[in-house]
Amino acid sequence: MKLLHVDGSILGPHSVSRTVSAAIVDRLRAQHPGFEVIYRDLAGTPLPHLSGAVLAGAQPNATNTPDVQHDVELGRQVLEEFLAADIVVIGAPLYNFTLSSQLKAWIDRILVAGVTFRYGPSGAEGLVGGKRVIAVVSRGGLYGPGTPAAAAEHAETYLRTVLAFIGITAPEVIVAEGIALGPEARERALAGALDAASALKAA
């Protein structure tokens, strides 16, 4: 079994999503001691944003400069990590109403036509539906269903859309929200998310 752990927060040890995603990985590791875990810190080692040069450079028989070739190979490595993983744990903070740009750069490397999805007569078809994905979404304010700001939430909603597009229609999502509303609210949100993480089933 292989687990891919991806963190998109830029806040290091102060990050709620990192704290909860690490707790999830620890729980799954304890239940499956033989897990191989690959960790990708998208803030510590950011991926370059996708470019036209890289899209062209990934085509067969492309002639690339060394920097473009490095970017192409990095994209292939990121994609292979994702494809090889049985379980994917994603730390996804809400920044300015959406995902961090670091996490978006990673998503752009795993949505690859002909590999994780394809277009057919009926439209798009996801190709990696067999994976288990657990996402931790942290939010400073309150954006849950029925709240005044619900329509402004574009992290969890975007992530669910992206995953469904490639065939993962039932991700497990743990939300910690209200963490910027004061120390007590932060602690409640973190404690609730950690409780949810501790209740995750092994499979």
137 is in an annotated binding site: no
15 in a labelled binding site: yes
18 is in an annotated binding site: no
Q: Which residue has the tokens 């970017």?
A: 71
| CA distances to 16, 48, 122, 183 from 164, in Å | 25, 24, 16, 35
Is 115 known to sit in a ligand binding site? no
Q: Is 17 annotated as a binding residue?
A: yes
For the chain, the farthest-separated pair of C-alpha atoms sits apart, in whole angstroms, at 58
Residue 100 annotated as part of some ligand binding site? no
Beta bridge mates, 4: 38, 88
138 labelled as ligand-binding? yes
Residue 138 near residue 177 (C-beta atoms within 8 A): yes
Report whether 25 belongs to an annotated binding site: no
Known binding positions for FMN? 9, 15-17, 138-141
Known binding positions? 9, 15-17, 138-141
